[in-house]
A = this chain, B = another copy of it.
Amino acid sequence: MTWTRRTFLGRVAAAAGYRAMYTAMQALGLLATTSEASPLPDLPPNFGAGKKVIILGGGIAGLVSAYELRKAGFTCTILEARERPGGRNWSVRNGCKVEFTDGAVQTCDWEEGHYLNVGPARLPSIHRVMIEYCEDLGVPLEVEINTSRSTLMQADTLNGGKPVEQRQVVNDTRGYISELLAKSIDQHGLDKLLDKEDTQRMLDFLQTYGDLTNDYSYKGSQRSGFVVSPGAGPDEEKWHQPLSLHELLVSDFSTGELYEEQIDWQATMFQPIGGMDRIPYAFAKSLGDIVQYRCVVKKVGKSSSGVKVEYANAGSSQEIEADYCICTLPLTILRTLDIDCALEKKQAFKGMKLASLYKIGWEAPRFWEKQYNIYGGISFPKQTVDLVWYPSNGLFTKTGIILSGFNFEQKDFADGSPTAFGALSTQGKLDASRAAVEVLHPGHGRSLTKPIYVSWQKIPYSLGCLAMNMMPDTKPAYNELNKPDGRIYFAGDYLSHIVGWQEGAALSAHRAIHGIAEQMRSS
């Protein structure tokens, strides 16, 4: 446990009135340890008195920076190019314009209350910092249903191409794996791997784990659901026949099956009621005119007292000076910006690609609820569009926004060439999106209306989605930009190990504030 972590826990504990308890529990090693370690320093409220910080970009990193710096007495200004706060935290809703850099414009005319979180759409409960900001700001949360066993999985190589329920894939797979291991033990023993007693314990466990028969065969399970449901009276239920193991293996559902176990996608997950953008709007409301919209940064320079930024505001050129700068602009913007910094930094701006993620949402009657028992969760069709995500909001109402398509448009983990989806025309992409719903829910593809397609590479002021900072060759850039250039600090999710998440952006902002505080103390 580093000192920063200890500081953080202490701060939380003090705020909650639990300091004594926390200290005792820490000493005992009894505290759950999944809380994020925030490097935010505990600064007195006048620490930054008389000091100005200019923050470039009003996404989560920028908003958190201003929110925390203000508490410590700094005078802050956020320059935001758009007319709204949030950056990639954007909920497209009625009246929104989606403008691409190629000139294409979509205008959203969904029903009031409908939205699509085209950037972040989930708040894992382990992302403590963001959860606590929601509590601080009074942003009410509801459960985001990331997993539902009634969602569907489909591959042309399984079940004649007809979709099956996720509960079948998950439980039949577990059944077969348990059977194979049990039979393997039966035939050869596991004497080199487990002693005799543990081998017997394993066999006993596998029987429950896989729902095996007495002779360790998998013959299907009630966990995989019904062809004929149980009811009243004498009639017996009828389970699904187990899927074919061969077909399951050929189809390889590992992505969909293990999706729910990725650490940031594990239950319990939340979403703000009304859309993810309720978070940036709540920050912005709290910050008031600290956030300046339609301010496009043109030049970042240094002055005798610190930093000087030139920007365009509604056509006119403006200038602002400050003691420090926290720059949260995306690397795609920084690459071409006129910025007075070291060559190493400029090289680092080019050191990470930005992911080519897209999302497509449609307005539709909620056929998936009453007719398929699907309330939230994600279906996985093995098609050009391979992910269909059902809304967790507005359950039991008439219509909703269904997402069909959330993936890369280019092979960002490989050579960057277009994916099958990315190679299509816009109309082809919408058709592929509709086709994915049709293969899962035959007859319903045509009930999708009013598509909204957001391709992050084409969104002005973003020009890409999350930075691919998990690629090994990005490490030099990561380390370089995690160091300031004089009084210019960089922040954003791309400078954290939780890239693509608001939590990473917030923690990165905390780290920048920590750096500024250290610099002030040592100067």
Contacts and interface: CB of A to CB of B under 8 A. Distances in A.
Chain B CB within 10 Å, residue with most, of A32, A188, A225, A491: A32
A25 B442 contact: yes
A510 interface: yes
Contacts of A171: 261
Nearest to A202: B249
Given A126-B373, A143-B143, A177-B206, 17 more contacts: A25-B443, A32-B372, A34-B225, A36-B229, A38-B231, A39-B232, A39-B233, A135-B396, A143-B376, A167-B261, A187-B188, A187-B192, A223-B266, A225-B263, A230-B496, A230-B504, A267-B377
Interface in A142-200: 142-143, 145, 147-150, 162, 165, 167, 170-171, 173-174, 177-178, 180-181, 183-185, 187-188, 190, 192-194, 198
B373 A125 contact: yes
Interface string A361-376: 0000000001111111
A397 to B, nearest CB: 10
A185 B184 CA distance: 8
Interface in A99-119: none
A211 to B, nearest CB: 8
Contacts of A49: none
Residue among A2, A31, A222, A373 facing the most chain B CB atoms (10 A cut-off): A373
Interface of A: 1-2, 5, 12, 16, 18, 21-22, 24-25, 28-39, 125-126, 128, 135, 141-143, 145, 147-150, 162, 165, 167, 170-171, 173-174, 177-178, 180-181, 183-185, 187-188, 190, 192-194, 198, 201-202, 204-206, 208-209, 222-223, 225-237, 245-246, 249-250, 252, 254-255, 257-258, 261-263, 266-268, 270, 370-377, 392, 395-396, 442-443, 478-479, 482, 491, 495-498, 504, 507-508, 510-511
B28 A442 contact: yes
A377 B268 contact: yes
A30 B479 contact: no
Nearest to A227: B33
Contact of A190 (B25, B184, B495): B184
Contact of A231 (B229, B252, B392, B507): B507
Copies of the protein in its oligomer: 2
A226 B35 CA distance: 9
Given A37-B231, A177-B209, A246 B30 contact: no
A498 B230 contact: yes
29 contacts: A2-B235, A22-B371, A28-B442, A30-B162, A30-B443, A33-B225, A33-B226, A34-B165, A34-B225, A34-B229, A35-B373, A36-B230, A39-B231, A39-B232, A125-B150, A145-B268, A148-B267, A148-B268, A150-B268, A181-B184, A183-B193, A184-B193, A198-B245, A198-B246, A205-B254, A222-B262, A223-B262, A232-B491, A232-B507
Contact of A165 (B32, B178, B198, B206): B32
A482 B234 contact: yes
Interface centre among A24, A150, A392 (most CB of B within 10 A): A150
Contacts of A375: 125, 268, 270
B254 A495 contact: no
Most B-side CB within 10 Å, residue of A29, A375, A491: A375
Contact of A37 (B228, B249, B263, B396): B228
